[in-house]
């Protein structure tokens, strides 16, 4: 396996930080492209309409890269952008891959909680530890990148996820 895969694994296990990744714009571009392709692949597997999924994924990618750039620039740490973005997107790829079986088994999400089947409820419960793990990994990346305490990284990670969901949900749901 390429060394990049081992580095991403170690970041997901909180053993290394984004500073351990190589500073490579081409690697960031490849990871961002893989992230976008994987989002579309999951949508195809779930038979979702591709136009809305592509728009949502592109918007989420722009939000991630744009917000990261702004925060790092405001903190005077702009030189960390490429490695931080690569780590954030690379680790998100891992979590998407871990969630694919759950997403495929859940099928189309119901419109109300009362319409959830017992299997869907079980799968949502199974996915919660993955969400917690993702928050902790994102917090770990933010802690190293923004030079903040770990708890601040957790708060940033939670706000980041909520903002991304609201942005994408509002843009795609509103169209």
Question: For residue range 86-127, what is the model confidence (pLDDT) as tens digits?
Answer: 999 999 999 999 988 887 777 766 667 677 778 777 888 888
- What Å distances lie between residue 53 and 2, 39, 49, 61, 175, CA to CA? 30, 8, 7, 12, 12
With beta carbons less than 8 A apart as the criterion, state whether 98 and 126 touch.
Answer: no
Q: Does residue 13 sit in helix, strand or coil?
A: coil
The span from the CA of 86 to the CA of 32, in Å, is: 8
Residue 128 has pLDDT above 70, yes or no: yes
Residue 82 has pLDDT above 60, yes or no: yes
With beta carbons less than 8 A apart as the criterion, state whether 18 and 87 touch.
Answer: yes
Instruction: For the full predicted model, state whether its pTM sits above 0.85.
Output: yes
Q: Identify the sign of the CA torsion 99, 105, 107, 113.
A: negative
- What Å distances lie between residue 65 and 70, 142, 158, CA to CA? 9, 13, 17
**pLDDT value at residue 102:** 84
Considering only residues 155 and 124, tell me which one the structure prediction assigns the higher pLDDT: 155
pLDDT confidence bin for 175, thresholds 50/70/90: very low
With beta carbons less than 8 A apart as the criterion, state whether 14 and 141 touch.
Answer: no
- Mean pLDDT computed over every residue of the chain: 87
What's the whole-number mean pLDDT along residues 138-164? 95
**pLDDT value at residue 170:** 65
Spans of all domains in the chain: 3-173
Residue 51 has pLDDT above 80, yes or no: no
Q: Which of 153, 95, 89 is nearest to 127 (CA)?
A: 95
pLDDT over 70 percentage in the chain: 87
Length of the chain: 175
Min mean pLDDT across 5-14, 51-60, 66-75, 84-93 is at 51-60
């Amino acid at each position: 396996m390429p060394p990049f895969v081992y580095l991403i694994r170690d970041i997901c296990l909180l053993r290394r930080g984004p500073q351990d990744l190589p500073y490579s714009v081409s690697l960031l571009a490849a990871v961002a492209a893989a992230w976008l392709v994987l989002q579309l692949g999951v949508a195809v597997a779930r038979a979702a309409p591709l136009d809305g999924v592509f728009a949502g994924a592109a918007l989420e990618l722009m939000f991630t890269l744009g917000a990261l750039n702004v925060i790092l620039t405001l903190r005077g740490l702009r030189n960390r952008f490429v490695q931080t973005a690569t780590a954030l997107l690379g680790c998100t790829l891992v979590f998407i891959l871990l969630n694919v079986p759950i997403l495929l088994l859940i099928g189309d999400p119901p419109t109300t909680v009362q319409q959830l089947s017992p299997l869907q409820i079980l799968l949502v419960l199974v996915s919660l530890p993955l969400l917690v793990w993702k928050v902790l990994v994102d917090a770990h990346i933010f802690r190293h990148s923004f030079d903040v305490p770990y708890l601040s990284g957790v708060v940033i990670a939670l706000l980041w996820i909520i903002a991304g969901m609201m942005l994408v949900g509002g843009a795609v749901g509103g169209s």
